[in-house]
Structure 1
Amino acid sequence: MIGACIFALCLWLRFEPGIQEWLQRLDAEQFYIGVYVLIIAAVVIMIVSFIGCASALQESSLALLILTHELPCT
């Protein structure tokens, strides 16, 4: 759910006309680089979460073991 929330927020930041006007006034062109990085991170979070949920639903201990060892935070 966090991945979906981050994804939705970043899409809103990218396509909201009011924010685009504000950024043009501030001359902050690098702002969208951060938004794109967050979009990519959110997509990765959603994919990993989906794989984890599918593995748990199928009770696939091998897939869960691979998933937990592939995550950099563990």
Structure 2
Amino acid sequence: MEKCKACSDYFKWDDEVIEVDDEYYHKDCVTLYPTGYVAFLDDDCLGETENADGTTAYSILEEGQYIDDED
């Protein structure tokens, strides 16, 4: 299962996920700046992302990389 690179919690199927350079973060764990969008974790720049609004975990992760409510 895939974990958030910031908080190390597993993703649930409906979590809002930010993808940066093939790394995944909860939307609430990072700060997004509308400069094309660049994600920051605290003061560290993680890189650019295209999904500023976040994407549900089940949309971008493979089955088994997130917690399914049916489990």
Instruction: Tell me which interval the TM-score lies in, with the shorter structure as reference length.
Output: under 0.3
TM-score, normalised with respect to structure 2: 0.26
Q: Tell which has more relative contact order, 1 or 2 (C-alpha 8 A, sep 6+).
A: 2
**Which one has a bigger Cα radius of gyration?**
1
TM-score, normalised with respect to structure 1: 0.26
Instruction: Please state which structure has a larger fraction of its residues in strand.
Output: 2
